Structure 1
Amino acid sequence: MTRDSDAIGRPASPIAEDDSVLPFAVDALDLRGRLVRLGPAAHSILTHYEYPPPVARLLGEAIALAALLGSMLEAHGRFQLQTRSDGPVDMLVVDCDAPGRLRGFARFDADRVAEGAAQGALLGHGHMALTVERPGDAARYQGVVALEGDSLTEAAHRYFRQSEQIPSFVKLTVAESVTPAGRSWRAGGLLLQYLPTTQRPRDLDPGDAPEGAEAEAAEDDAWIEGLSLASTTQDHELVDPGLSGERLLYSLFHERGVMVFPPTQLIEACRCSTEKVADLLRSFPLEDRRDMVGDDGKIGVTCEFCRTHRVFDPADFE
C-alpha cells in the first residue's frame, strides 16, 4: 500500500474514515477506482423524512453512487443524479457540489411501497440522468440511461457501457445499524474502471472463423483479473465502521499492489438559503405570490432536500 507522495510502500492504515471518498490505482492492471464510505452524512440525508426502509436504502445507494461520480470533479463543479420513472419511487435527486457537499431526497408513493417490491420494481421503468455543470462553461454535460426495472447498480453499469464505453464495475451497499445510541444509516460503494495507457497484447486469432465474419473483441486479461478481485467485495465490508478503506483495498489488490491518493471529505449540505428563497419569491408575479399566502397571512416555503421551513411577509416583496 502506497500513497502518491510516498517513495516506498507502507502498511495499510487501520483508521476507518467515514464520509470520505478514497481514490486508488492498481497500476499493474491499469485500474483506477474510488471507494466511498458514508456515515453521518448519509444518516442525516436519510432521516430528513420518515422514509420506509426500502426507500431509504434506495436513496442511500443513489447518494453513494453520486459521491463516487461527483468526486471526480475535484475542486469545482456540480454533479447531479436524477431518476424519473413509473415505479413506486418515481423520483430520486442527489446533488454533489465539488469537492464534497451532498444533498438528496426521494419522492415515493407510500401505498405502492407498502405493497412490497424489490429494488428494481421500486424504480420501475424510466430513465436516470447524470448531469455535470462547471462554473464558466457555456454548456453542461448530461448522460441519460434507461431504467428497465432493474437496480441502480445495473443502471450504472449500463451507463458506463453505453455512454462512456469504459469497462467498469460498481457495487453499492446500504445498511441500518442498531447501537446503544440508536439506529443509524450507513452507505458504501466501490467503483473500478479499466483505463489502459497502452494497448495490451492479446492472444492471436485462432483463424477458424467463417470468412468475412468479424471477430468479437475479447475482454482484456488485466480487466478480467481486476473484475474478479473487485467482485469478491462483501456488502458488509463497504459499511463496516471498524474496517478502514485502505485495509479493504489492500485485501482486494495486495498481490498486484495498490496505491491510494488523498481522500475527499464529504458532508451533508443544502444549497438553500433565506436569500435564495427570497429572490425566487421576488421572481413571481404579484398575483402568484398572493396565492401563496397562508391563513396566517405569511408565505411559507419548505426546502424539499433539507426540510428547512422559512416564513416570509408578503409585504416585503411589494
Structure 2
Amino acid sequence: MAADAGAAAGHDDAVLPFAVPDLDLRGRVVRLGPSIDAILDRHGYPVPVSRVLGEACALTVLLGTALKFEGRFQLQTKSDGAIPMMVVDFSAPDAYRAVVQIDQAKLVEAMALDRLSTGDLLGEGHLAMTIDQGSVATRYQGIVPLTRQGLEEAAHQYFRQSEQIPTRVRLAVGTVTTGGRGHWRAGGILVQFMPHSVDRLRAADIHPGDAPEGHRILAGGDADGVEDDAWTEARSLVETVEDHELLDPTLESERLLYRLFHERGARVFEPVPVREACRCSRERVLGMLRGFSAEDRRAMIADDGRLGVTCEFCSRRYSFEPAEVEDGQAAGS
C-alpha cells in the first residue's frame, strides 16, 4: 500500500520505490549499509577502487530490484583502465555480490597523477547490462561504450539508446565512522519519466531498435529526447541531491523524497530489502572442476594433495580430495 512520503520509517540495505504522479515520475532510492561494508571490507581494495565498486553496486541494486521475475541482473565492465573488469551480480529478488580486477601498475600511476574519478579508473571500453530470466531465449543485454565517463552518465546513455526512457541517476559512496572505524556506505536515486497523458507523448525521431515491443517511444529536443516542463522540473530536482544526503544514516529516504517532491505529492511504497550473498556453493564448484580435463585437474592439485578453489566474489575457500572429483566423473560417464 502506498503512503505519503515522509510517513514511513527509513531502512538500510533497502530500496524504496516511489512515484510522483503530478510529474509522471517513477523512481527508487537505495541505501546500502552493512551489506556494502561487508563486500568492500572483505576484499580490502584500495579506497579509490572501493568507491567505484560501491557506485556500481548501488546502480545494480537500483536496476535489479525492478525485476518482476526470478532472474538475474548483471552489470559488467571491460576496459583499459586501472579497473579492467568489474562485475556486480544481482539475483532477484534481493541478493547481490561484486568483484573487480585491478591493474596495479595503472592504479599506481593514476594515484600518482591524482586521476581517481570513476571515469579515469575505468578508462575506455564498454559497460554491459544483462537481464537473464534463466534461458538464452529470454536473455537481454544492452551495451554502452565507456569513454572515461562516470557510471551515472553511462546509465543515462544506456536508457537513452536501449529503452528510450528519460532517466536520471545520482550515486554516492563514502564512509561513516562508528565504533572507532570507518564503515562503507553507498546510496543512489533513480527517476524515470513515464508519461501517460497524450499531451506529454512525443513522436519518435530515431527508432531505438532494441526497445521492448509495444513501448511508446519519446522524442524531442533536449539530451533526453523530451521537451516537457514536468521532466525538466524532475531532472533539475534530482540534480540537487548531494552525496551526504544519500549516505547519511540519520537521513531517511522518505525525508529525502519529501524534501525533493513534497510540493508535488510524492508517494512511497513498501521498501525492498536487499542483502549481500554469493551464489557459490560446494556443489557448484565441484561441478565446475568436473568440467576440466583430467590433465588440467592434476595440474590443480596443491602440495597438500587437494584441489583448492577460492570464490572471487566472496573469498570462500573450497577444498576437495582428487578422488571426490574423479568419482563424480565416473558416475556421470
| Superposition TM-score, scaled by structure 1 size | 0.90
Give the conservation status (yes or no) of the 8 Å contact 2:79–2:146. Answer: yes
Which SS does the other structure have where 1:12 is aligned?
coil
Name whichever structure is richer in helix by fraction: 2
Residue 68 of structure 1, CA deviation: 0.4
Query: Distance between the aligned counterparts of 1:62 and 1:240, measured in 2?
Result: 19
Closer/same/farther in 2, CA of residues 289 and 146 from structure 1, 3 Å limit:
same
Which SS does the other structure have where 2:199 is aligned?
coil
What do residues 166-192 of structure 1 show as CA deviations (whole Å, max 9, x unaligned)? 111000000012223422100000000
2:149 aligns with 150
Query: Distance between the aligned counterparts of 1:119 and 1:61, measured in 2?
Result: 9
Q: Partner amino acid for 1:200?
A: D
Residue 12 of structure 1, CA deviation: 2.6
1:12 aligns with 7
Give the conservation status (yes or no) of the 8 Å contact 2:5–2:255. Answer: no
Query: Distance between the aligned counterparts of 2:74 and 2:66, measured in 1?
Result: 12
Aligned length: 300
1:219 aligns with 227
1:30 aligns with 24
Residue 11 of structure 1, CA deviation: 4.8
Give the conservation status (yes or no) of the 8 Å contact 2:12–2:32. Answer: yes
What do residues 28-83 of structure 1 show as CA deviations (whole Å, max 9, x unaligned)? 01000000000011111112212111000000000000000000114511000000
Which SS does the other structure have where 2:43 is aligned?
coil
2:197 aligns with 198
1:50 aligns with 44
2:124 aligns with 125
Give the conservation status (yes or no) of the 8 Å contact 2:5–2:268. Answer: no
1:40 aligns with 2:34: yes
Give the conservation status (yes or no) of the 8 Å contact 2:159–2:165. Answer: yes
1:236 aligns with 244
- What is the alpha-carbon root mean square deviation over aligned residues? 1.7
Which SS does the other structure have where 2:198 is aligned?
coil
2:181 aligns with 182
Q: Partner amino acid for 1:94?
A: V
Give the conservation status (yes or no) of the 8 Å contact 1:79–1:97. Answer: yes
Query: Distance between the aligned counterparts of 1:304 and 1:71, measured in 2?
Result: 23
- Would you identify which runs of 4 or more consecutive aligned residues in structure 1 move more than 6 Å? none
1:102 aligns with 96
Which SS does the other structure have where 1:255 is aligned?
helix
Give the conservation status (yes or no) of the 8 Å contact 2:6–2:258. Answer: no
Q: Partner amino acid for 2:123?
A: G
Query: Distance between the aligned counterparts of 2:56 and 2:5, measured in 1?
Result: 34
What do residues 255-288 of structure 1 show as CA deviations (whole Å, max 9, x unaligned)? 0001111111000000000111011111222111
2:320 aligns with 312
Query: Distance between the aligned counterparts of 2:226 and 2:41, measured in 1?
Result: 46
| Superposition TM-score, scaled by structure 2 size | 0.86
Give the conservation status (yes or no) of the 8 Å contact 2:65–2:94. Answer: yes
Query: Distance between the aligned counterparts of 1:263 and 1:249, measured in 2?
Result: 13
**Aligned runs of 1:155-166 on 2, under 5 Å?**
155-166=154-165
Query: Distance between the aligned counterparts of 1:181 and 1:313, measured in 2?
Result: 43
What do residues 4-46 of structure 1 show as CA deviations (whole Å, max 9, x unaligned)? 2x5xx57533x33100000000000100000000001111111
Residue 316 of structure 1, CA deviation: 1.3
What do residues 89-133 of structure 1 show as CA deviations (whole Å, max 9, x unaligned)? 001100110111010011111232122223211000000000001
Query: Distance between the aligned counterparts of 1:148 and 1:254, measured in 2?
Result: 37
Q: Partner amino acid for 1:219?
A: E
Could you tell me which runs of 5 or more consecutive residues in structure 2 were left unpaired when the two chains were aligned.
Answer: 202-219, 327-333
Greater Cα shift, 216-225 or 242-251: 216-225
Greater Cα shift, 281-290 or 23-32: 281-290
2:213 aligns with none
Could you tell me which runs of 5 or more consecutive residues in structure 1 were left unpaired when the two chains were aligned.
Answer: 203-214
Which SS does the other structure have where 1:72 is aligned?
coil
Give the conservation status (yes or no) of the 8 Å contact 1:12–1:250. Answer: no
1:169 aligns with 168
Query: Distance between the aligned counterparts of 2:180 and 2:283, measured in 1?
Result: 36
Closer/same/farther in 2, CA of residues 313 and 16 from structure 1, 3 Å limit:
same
Closer/same/farther in 2, CA of residues 11 and 102 from structure 1, 3 Å limit:
closer
**Aligned runs of 1:281-292 on 2, under 5 Å?**
281-292=289-300
Greater Cα shift, 168-177 or 278-287: 278-287
Which SS does the other structure have where 2:171 is aligned?
strand
Query: Distance between the aligned counterparts of 1:307 and 1:48, measured in 2?
Result: 8
Q: Partner amino acid for 2:177?
A: V
Give the conservation status (yes or no) of the 8 Å contact 1:33–1:193. Answer: yes
Identity %: 52
1:253 aligns with 2:248: no
Residue 135 of structure 1, CA deviation: 3.5
Query: Distance between the aligned counterparts of 2:11 and 2:107, measured in 1?
Result: 33
